[in-house]
Amino acid sequence: MKGAPDQQWNVPAGENSQHEGGFRADLAVTTERGGPTYGEMIEQVRLFMDKVRYASPTPALADEVIEDLKKLNAKLDTMLVDEWTSPSGTRIDLPSRGNITLPPYEIRDGGPDGVDATVTFRPFHLGGNGVAHGGHVAIAFDDLGGMAAALKLGGVARTGYLTVNYRSLTPLQKPLALRTWVERFEGRKYFVRGTLHDGDRLCAEMDALFIALKPGQA
């Protein structure tokens, strides 16, 4: 990778790392990893991505930003941990559990009957003509559909298939209601439905199959 030729991303899990199989079968939720300002750090990164999406820098400014980013990347290089112990994805007090790759959402209610969340697509989730990219809508459905399955089965599931029907345009920068629920299950197969609304207007619907992982399964 340019700028980081020797970077080892797949940091091996330490002895104290809690995991079973290749997926996070035993999710260790936390509100402390990364410290009290981790959420603000993630928010600043999202804000930066918003600005990058819309900025048209001069060559001089682009060079300046590159130098600044190299310094920031070098700082984080000193603190890389394995995926099982990183704060990202486990900080239940933060939007999208602190996972920078997900559209930021807040859980309003969640349990075996389903998940009721508010998701706000950012300016950097732009698809075109001021509205969200459909792929980002699918990511939100995947994570929150997976959460509905997880809360129903009391374990972790992987997506078998996920279909999104885009019914109307999905706005950016506006809290939207995203709901997911297990419609039925047969053995390890959890059939999950979802809806995304802007007020009363249906933006998109999801129809998905999540398959419960067996103990130790990747």
Whole-number minimum distance, CB 127 to ligand PKZ, in Å?
Answer: 21
**CB nearer ligand PKZ, residue 123 or residue 188:** 188
Whole-number minimum distance, CB 196 to ligand PKZ, in Å?
Answer: 16
Residue 103: how many other CB atoms lie within 10 Å: 24
Whole-number minimum distance, CB 31 to ligand PKZ, in Å?
Answer: 11
**CB nearer ligand PKZ, residue 57 or residue 160:** 160
Q: Are 192 and 145 in contact (CB under 8 A)?
A: yes
The span from the CA of 144 to the CA of 193, in Å, is 10
Residues 6 or more apart in contact with residue 173 via CB below 8 angstroms: 120, 121, 122, 123
Residues 6 or more apart in contact with residue 169 via CB below 8 angstroms: 131, 132, 203
Whole-number minimum distance, CB 10 to ligand PKZ, in Å?
Answer: 17
Site for ligand PKZ in 56-95 (CB under 6 A): 92
How far out from the chain centre does Cα 104 lie? 7
The span from the CA of 167 to the CA of 172, in Å, is 16
The span from the CA of 144 to the CA of 117, in Å, is 8
The span from the CA of 101 to the CA of 89, in Å, is 9
Site string for ligand PKZ, 153-192 (x = CB under 6 A): -----xxxx-------------------------xxx---
Q: Which stretch binds ligand PKZ (CB under 6 A): 13-21, 58-66, 70-78, 144-152?
A: 144-152
Whole-number minimum distance, CB 139 to ligand PKZ, in Å?
Answer: 9
Q: What angle do CA 149, 133, 47 make, to 5 degrees?
A: 95
The answer to whether 126 contacts ligand PKZ (rule: CB under 6 A) is no
The answer to whether 27 contacts ligand PKZ (rule: CB under 6 A) is yes
Summarize as ranges the residues that interact with ligand PKZ (CB under 6 A).
27, 29, 92, 107, 110, 142-143, 146-147, 150, 158-161, 187-189, 209, 211
